[in-house]
Chains A and B, each alone.
Chain A
Amino acid sequence: MLSAEQLIRYKRNILLAGCGEAGQERLLAGKVLLIGAGGLGSPAAYYLAAAGVGGLGLIDPDVVELSNLQRQILHNTGDLGRPKVDSAREKLLALNPDLKIEAVAGAFTRENAAALIARYDFVIDCTDNFPARYLLNEVCVRSGRPFVYGGVLAYAGQAMTIVPGRGPCLRCIFREAPGEGAPTTGQVGVLGAVPGVIGAIQATEAVKYLLGAGELLTGRLLTFDALTMTFFEAKVQRDPDCPVCGRKQSGGIA
């Protein structure tokens, strides 16, 4: 049952076809885990907090650095040197005191991944490297948890939602980790608004999943190019030979 204050705070959600008061209650009961509280995690967490997604988890091992502030909009100049998850938690609770936030100031590892993910309904990939994404993908596929991939570089971004058993997983389309020569944002930069766009798309997918509204970005790799302001969608299929979800895997679901 929504309080009088919640009816006002979430009025623009409640007005939406496909949401209503029942949908808002689902959002408040929803639990979303964000792996990373940086460029993608900042906008994604902000929008989820504002929307009233009631349980948010944040895990990130890093502290706020000056070079982060160009794009990581949860953190301020006064937060330099603080753990990102502490800075993020403070901002999100200031925005919305309805929330319960689990903040883990540490790395996302094979040891903690499964237990952490099991506590949440949906996971958002806000990591900055492929080994962490492969771990996230593997644990989510094995445990049947949906997640949304996001990645950014320079003026480009990508996103895709993975619902285990429905369409391809991340390893179906990104088979091997990139080589040593692959460019990073530390080398070629990244425009701050690009993770803003992709992080907002990721938050949208999480809200749609919790509401059961619309069509998720499954089996469609969305790419965004800011220089030409172009979105393009590549339809992608599940790979029967995928090492994570393919039919040869004992833990697979084919």
Chain B
Amino acid sequence: MEVEVRVFSGLEKFVPGAGPGKALLVQVPEGATGRELIAQLQIPSDQIFTMFVNGRHALPEQVLQPGDRVALFPPIGGG
């Protein structure tokens, strides 16, 4: 199944073809979780601070559905 993934704020360096906020269509197995998507994208898990699925905060174990919009952010914590 296909999900739409956007990575932000430096995470794009881990994902070939990604740009900040650029939508990428990614094929994942049926029943894949957020954590499995992150592993498939080869983004180190300690770089992920928050994941949104369809605009709502999601836990890594959330099972993805076809067409889900996934956004991944690192911690942007400086001031």
Contacts and interface: CB of A to CB of B under 8 A. Distances in A.
Interface of A: 36, 38-41, 125-130, 133, 150-158, 172-175, 178-185, 190, 195, 221, 223, 225, 227-228, 230, 232, 234-237, 239
Interface of B: 6, 8-10, 19-21, 44, 46-47, 49-50, 52, 55-57, 59, 71, 73-79
A224 to B, nearest CB: 9
Contacts of B46: 179-182
A36 B78 CA distance: 11
Contacts of A183: 10, 47, 74-75
A53 to B, nearest CB: 20
7 interchain residue pairs of minimum CB distance: A232-B21, A185-B78, A156-B9, A178-B75, A181-B46, A128-B79, A151-B76
A174 B52 CA distance: 10
Given A41-B79, A129-B77, A174-B75, 15 more contacts: A39-B78, A125-B79, A128-B78, A133-B77, A152-B76, A153-B10, A153-B77, A157-B76, A178-B49, A181-B44, A223-B8, A223-B21, A225-B20, A228-B20, A234-B52
5 contacts: A130-B77, A151-B77, A151-B78, A151-B79, A236-B55
